[in-house]
Amino acid sequence: MKRALIRTLSALLALLLLCGCTGARAPTPTPSPTPGVSASPQPSVTSTSDPTQPSASPAVSNSAPATTAPSAAVTHTAAPQPVATPRPAPTSAPVHHHSYTSVVTPPSCTTQGYTTYTCACGAHYQDHVAAALGHSFGAWVTIVVPTASSSGTKVRTCTRCGAQESATISPVFDPNSVASQVVNLVNQERAKAGLSPLTAVGNLHSYAQTRSTELVSVFDHVRPDGSNPLTSVFNLGSYSTAGENIAMGYSSAQTVMDGWMNSPGHRANILNANFTSIGVGCYNYNGVLYWTQIFAG
Ligand SMILES: [Zn+2]
Ligand SMILES: [Zn+2]
C-alpha cells in the first residue's frame, strides 16, 4: 500500500514538476539556469512533505527537462538580437559618396565671386573665391557747371554695373570777374574819400595779369628781367604817373582789398587823386592767388 502511495505521489510530483516546467516558461527571459532552480522549489516544497529519497529522484529528473526548456528560451531571447542588428544599418544609410553639382557666381564690381558645390543630400560648400572686380568708371560728366563763386558737380558712371560716383568741381577762377570785383571795391573806397572813380582799362588788366604770373617767381616790385614794372605801364598809354600794388595768399577780392587798405602805402595808391585808370590781375598758382593792381593817370 505504501509503495502504491509513493508511486502515485511520485507520479503527481512528476506532473507537478512538468507543470512547473511549463510554468517555468514565463521566467525564461531570465538567465537559463535560474528557471530550473526557481521551478524546483515549488516541487521541492511538496517533496519536503515527503522526506523519502525516491521522491527526490523525479525531482532530479525534472531538473533535466528544465534545462531543455531554457535551451528553447535561449533561442527565443536570441531572436530579438537579429531584429536589433538591422538598427545600425539605417544610421549608416545617409553616408554616401557626395555627388556635387557646381554653380558659378561670378565676381561683381563690389562682391566676391565663388563656386557653390551642392550634393542632392543637401551638403554644400563654396570654393574658387574670386576678388571683387572694382568699378570701371567712364569719363567724368559735368552735371552742375561751376561758376566763379559756386562749385559745380561732376558724375562718372561704372560701365559694368551702372554705379555712379559724384565729385565737386571747384569754383572756376575767372580773372575778369575777380578783377571787376576789385575795381568796384577800389571805386567804393575812392567814393568814400570823395575821389573820382578809376576806369578799368583792358591793356592794364592784361599787364596786371602778366605781373601776377611774374609774382610767383619774384614777389616784388621788380620784374623777373630786373626792370621796373612801372616803366612798362607808360608804354601802354599816355600816362604821366603810375603805381603798383601786389599781394599774395588772399582768397577773395574783398580780403585782398582789406589787406591793401590797412597798409598805408597801398592805401595811398588806391586813394591817389592823380590816377584815372586801373588794371587788376589775379593768378592762381597751386591754389595760391597772386594779386596785382596797376594804376595809371
Ligand atoms: Zn551628399
Ligand atoms: Zn561697377
**Going residue by residue through the chain (297 aa), what tens digit of pLDDT does each one get?**
444 444 544 443 333 333 333 333 444 444 444 333 333 334 333 333 333 344 433 333 343 344 444 444 443 444 445 454 555 555 555 578 999 999 999 999 999 999 999 999 999 999 999 999 999 999 999 999 877 667 889 999 999 999 999 998 876 666 667 888 999 999 999 999 999 999 999 899 999 999 999 999 999 999 999 999 999 999 999 999 999 999 999 988 999 999 999 999 999 999 999 999 999 999 989 889 999 999 999
Q: Which residues contact 241 (CB under 8 A, 6 or more apart)?
A: 272, 274, 275, 296, 297
Burial environment of residue 231 by CB neighbours within 10 A (0 to 12, 13 to 18, 19 or more):
exposed
Measured from the alpha carbon of residue 109, the closest ligand is: 2
- How far is the centre of ligand 1, averaged over its atoms, from the C-alpha of 89 (Å)? 18
- How far is the centre of ligand 2, averaged over its atoms, from the C-alpha of 143 (Å)? 20
State the Cα–Cα distance between residues 121 and 98, nearest whole angstrom: 8
Q: Which amino acid is at 135?
A: H
- How far is the centre of ligand 1, averaged over its atoms, from the C-alpha of 105 (Å)? 21
> Rounded to two decimals, what is the model's pTM?
0.46
Grid cell, residue 69, equals 526548456
Measured from the alpha carbon of residue 122, the closest ligand is: 1
- How far is the centre of ligand 2, averaged over its atoms, from the C-alpha of 161 (Å)? 4
Grid cell, residue 44, equals 521541492
- How far is the centre of ligand 1, averaged over its atoms, from the C-alpha of 97 (Å)? 6
- How far is the centre of ligand 1, averaged over its atoms, from the C-alpha of 116 (Å)? 14
Query: Position of cell 572686380?
Result: 133
State the Cα–Cα distance between residues 293 and 84, nearest whole angstrom: 109
β-pair type (141-144, 164-169) = unpaired
- How far is the centre of ligand 1, averaged over its atoms, from the C-alpha of 248 (Å)? 77
Q: Which residues contact 65 (CB under 8 A, 6 or more apart)?
A: 17, 18, 21
Residue 123 phi, psi dihedral angles, 5° rounding: -65, 140
